[in-house]
């Protein structure tokens, strides 16, 4: 029997902060779910990051984008554009995200912008919007060992500067992942 992995679409805003982008890609690499995004989502986070961080180069961020696309197979959703005109959301600029979630058969959109993806609209497509804190916390409840190991590897790979487990949890707090960080404090020896 083939097990179908749930599909999750990442909104551009969760790729903007590098520590969260890194964690979400690593979690997708565990095989617990299938992560999805589009070239338009990539362009949005890259454009916004370059606007606020002129010290970064487009070439570097495009290498990051390419690495993400290579690391997570079947992540790019295409042929969703035709759905955009028929969708209604509070912010018209977010319709491409919902269209990609529909075309990519995603059940969850991971986003900080929950108000832009109302349940009244998403539920008719069998999709829900989740804050990254809620999403990561649900993964932690599903497979605590796998999530802790993923975070531990992320922490170990950070060398400039190196990070302690407490540093990582403080970063999560800063990123609005408070419930996740609080849950992980009791597991800090695993991080």
Domains and CATH numbers, the chain: 7-130 (3.40.50.1010), 136-190 (no CATH)
Per-residue pLDDT tens over the stretch 121-137: 999 999 999 999 999 99
Q: What local confidence, expressed as pLDDT, does residue 61 receive?
A: 97
Q: What local confidence, expressed as pLDDT, does residue 2 receive?
A: 63
Tell me, yes or no, if the pTM score tops 0.75.
Answer: yes
Per-residue pLDDT tens over the stretch 34-45: 999 999 999 999
pLDDT, averaged in runs of 10, over the chain (191 residues): 83 97 98 97 97 95 97 97 97 97 98 97 97 97 97 95 95 97 96 96
Question: What is the SS3 assignment for the chain?
Answer: CCCCCCEEEECHHHCCCHHHHHHHHHHHCCCCCEEEECHHHHHHHHHHHHHHCCCCCHHHHHHHHHHHHHHCCCCECCCCHHHHHHCCCCCHHHHHHHHHHHHCCCCEEECCCHHHCCHHHHHHHCCEEECHHHHHHHHHHHCHHHHHHHHHHHHHHCECCECCHHHHHHHHHHCCCHHHHHHHHCCHHHC
Q: What local confidence, expressed as pLDDT, does residue 48 receive?
A: 96
């Amino acid at each position: 029997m083939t097990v179908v992995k749930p599909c999750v679409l990442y909104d551009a805003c969760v790729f903007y902060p590098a520590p969260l982008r890194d964690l979400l890609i690593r979690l997708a690499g565990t095989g617990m779910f299938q992560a999805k995004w589009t070239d338009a989502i990539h362009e949005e986070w890259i454009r916004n990051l370059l606007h606020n961080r002129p010290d970064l180069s487009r070439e570097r961020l495009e290498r990051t984008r390419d690495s993400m696309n290579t690391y997570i197979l079947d992540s790019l959703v295409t042929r969703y554009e035709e759905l955009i005109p028929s969708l209604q959301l509070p912010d018209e600029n977010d319709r491409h995200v919902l269209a990609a979630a529909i075309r990519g058969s995603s059940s969850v959109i991971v986003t900080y912008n929950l108000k832009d993806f109302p349940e009244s609209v998403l539920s008719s497509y069998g999709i829900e919007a989740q804050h990254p804190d809620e999403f990561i916390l649900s993964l932690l409840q599903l497979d605590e060992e796998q999530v802790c190991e993923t975070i531990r590897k992320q922490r170990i790979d950070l060398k400039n500067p190196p990070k302690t487990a407490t540093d990582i949890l403080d970063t999560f707090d800063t990123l609005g992942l408070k419930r996740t960080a609080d849950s992980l404090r009791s597991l800090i020896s695993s991080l």
